[in-house]
Structure 1
């Protein structure tokens, strides 16, 4: 007991019983022991064996990895789980370990413990990793694949063109190489899945009189009950909620139309070919759907335009209250996708009516679903020299 009391006094008041040198040496040794133990524990959680100790990881991603070039190749170099998913930089590694607490919670709650649950979450998980790779400029890839070490002569002419351009701007690898180590999410009939994973599927409890923006291209209907379509509501279009009824809402779409034929197409603004909605001929001519406020002649074309509001029904999903996330996604997509082959022109390089022709000539060389195409084109038009005068 006396021995224990002496130890306690020494630890409680070390300066009273120990010399400064002894205290310093003890602290130094304890620091080494603590750091060694911490680093050992960190490295134990940074192995492929630890990663696949979780059944859901071993049965899905690990099995998929074994079917790719990252598992078996002519050079015999294999990429393991932490090579790609744990940053090599120490500070980023610690940050990633902290983020991994989310994975531990998922394991505890059995979020992806079955194949069905895993596939349902695959897009969400993949999108999160793609964002992290983009944020880090694909540093995990570049630990092995260095632009400066590439032998351009061993590449095809097309690969040389694309990779040299990517090297010039130090492009993130996942911009072009998604699905290189794991199966891509099953898109099925999903439209703009990465966009929806980022901005969500819409607000709940839509407020009458409030304004929202469409996160996808949506069908229009004559009323709250019918499934007969009355047209199409374009992505990133501002609408005002006029009435709600179950899963349907009546919206007001303000814009301009050309006074030609039935005047089915509603444009964002006077004289600008920025699409907001396209109604069927029957819907455009039906009483109570389209209200005309004024007429104006376009001096460039001689056409008469009418300022209108269409009151029509649509589904209540994919209506968001903030347009900026849509523009952010469109800007990032334009920057990454359209820089693969050449330097893309600035948004304000062309006017709003010139961009559709220019953009349609580009999309043949990139992989975009129709909603993403429509969103990027509208982003370019609404950020063109027509609205941004600083470029000209």
Structure 2
């Protein structure tokens, strides 16, 4: 440590021979050298060769890029990796480099070094990039594609309608244009990584007698040991914990069912087609699983409904102790995703039984996984005119 102490003393010792001007000029020159070296190193990481330097990038996303119009087109303009993934302004560029430490971590621990690992992570990585593009209003796209420079008369009527609306709002490009440089992830069967990132994995310790809400669609089981599924618990469904055993929890679900067949579909309330759970036929007929109470006839359809309680088992994960985080996420996602093509209807514009048909007509135009679809549909039903006292 003595040499370190000596250096510190030397640096703190007043100069005897150098003038203030000499010190200032020297510091200025050293600053220029440091800045030049730092900026040169920064720019060296902004080349396509650097980006595809690891096998996982060269073998997948780079090959996919070569199959798109951003690689080869009639104008001969090519978009490289840093054109889209590194901001042009210096401040945002440095921030992006700090964020890229996540990529270095993945490279060191080889999280996407095989095709199978890459596909498993594709949606997570794509979601992260989409969120960054949305945060920056797709500035990387707009560095080349400018609304003010577009020739509307060369577009189809439908494209004109959509693009002019987007230009008026200066809309983020990735709201509509996902999957144009790389293949789209499988959005249909994914487990909603953005939703889980927002609301968490659930409560670590469930209390017997407590009430919780499913943050994902979850499998149901006959008991704490079997792997044979007895049905599915729908997202945002309220359950009461009856018993805990290792990784399984015995729950009760209150609701209504239609007196048709085995009556295996459980709904939120009488006469309202808002799903809470779907049991297998064997589970619905199993003694002790469903307890029936009062019966009522729906005057609109003539169907008989029965108030029931379901006692069944599920896994401990993805259970929240409050519903509001789910509604907040659903509201934000509905507002951002479903306003791409038009102004979305207010939640209370339709009743609970009308919303499913209306919403299913909307989701054909957006990329949305099944869990998020189910959550937003239930959010719209729960906040519909059926439950909101308003005239429509």
| TM-score, with length taken from structure 2 | 0.81
User: 1:255 aligned to 2:241?
Assistant: no
Distance 1:279-1:49 versus aligned 2 partners, 3 A rule: closer
- Is contact 2:239–2:252 with CA below 8 Å preserved after alignment? yes
TM-superposed deviation, 1:180: 1.3
TM-superposed deviation, 1:361: 3.6
1:1-392 matched pairs, under 5 angstroms = 12=12, 17-186=17-186, 190=190, 192=192, 195=195, 207-224=207-224, 230-245=230-245, 248-257=248-257, 264-269=264-269, 272-279=272-279, 283-284=283-284, 286-291=286-291, 307-316=307-316, 318-321=318-321, 323-387=323-387
Q: State how far apart, in whole Å, the 2-side matches of 1:263 and 1:110 are.
A: 49
Q: State how far apart, in whole Å, the 2-side matches of 1:59 and 1:259 are.
A: 55
Distance 1:231-1:137 versus aligned 2 partners, 3 A rule: same
Q: State how far apart, in whole Å, the 1-side matches of 2:316 and 2:108 are.
A: 34
Distance 1:282-1:115 versus aligned 2 partners, 3 A rule: closer
Structure 2 regions of 5+ residues with no counterpart?
A: 1-7
Distance 1:32-1:193 versus aligned 2 partners, 3 A rule: closer
Q: State how far apart, in whole Å, the 2-side matches of 1:284 and 1:372 are.
A: 27
Cα shift readout 1:74-104 (whole Å, capped 9, x = no counterpart): 1111111111111223222111111112222
Distance 1:9-1:191 versus aligned 2 partners, 3 A rule: closer
Distance 1:42-1:229 versus aligned 2 partners, 3 A rule: closer
- Is contact 1:165–1:340 with CA below 8 Å preserved after alignment? no
- Is contact 1:124–1:197 with CA below 8 Å preserved after alignment? no
- Is contact 2:188–2:368 with CA below 8 Å preserved after alignment? no
- Is contact 1:291–1:310 with CA below 8 Å preserved after alignment? yes
- Is contact 1:224–1:313 with CA below 8 Å preserved after alignment? yes
TM-superposed deviation, 1:317: 5.0
Q: State how far apart, in whole Å, the 2-side matches of 1:369 and 1:105 are.
A: 27
TM-superposed deviation, 1:57: 1.8
Q: State how far apart, in whole Å, the 1-side matches of 2:389 and 2:18 are.
A: 75
Q: State how far apart, in whole Å, the 2-side matches of 1:365 and 1:143 are.
A: 26
Distance 1:250-1:153 versus aligned 2 partners, 3 A rule: same
Q: State how far apart, in whole Å, the 1-side matches of 2:36 and 2:322 are.
A: 49
TM-superposed deviation, 1:343: 1.0
Cα shift readout 1:300-355 (whole Å, capped 9, x = no counterpart): 88988665431113345544555455434433442343223211112233343442
Q: State how far apart, in whole Å, the 2-side matches of 1:389 and 1:130 are.
A: 37
Structure 1 regions of 5+ residues with no counterpart?
A: 1-7
Q: State how far apart, in whole Å, the 2-side matches of 1:365 and 1:88 are.
A: 31
- Is contact 1:10–1:16 with CA below 8 Å preserved after alignment? no
- Is contact 2:348–2:383 with CA below 8 Å preserved after alignment? yes
Distance 1:254-1:160 versus aligned 2 partners, 3 A rule: same
| TM-score, with length taken from structure 1 | 0.81
Secondary structure in 2 aligned to 1:274?
Answer: strand
TM-superposed deviation, 1:387: 4.8
Q: Which moved more, 1:85-94 or 1:271-280?
A: 271-280
TM-superposed deviation, 1:142: 1.4
- Is contact 1:14–1:23 with CA below 8 Å preserved after alignment? no
Q: State how far apart, in whole Å, the 1-side matches of 2:215 and 2:351 are.
A: 24
Number of aligned residues: 386
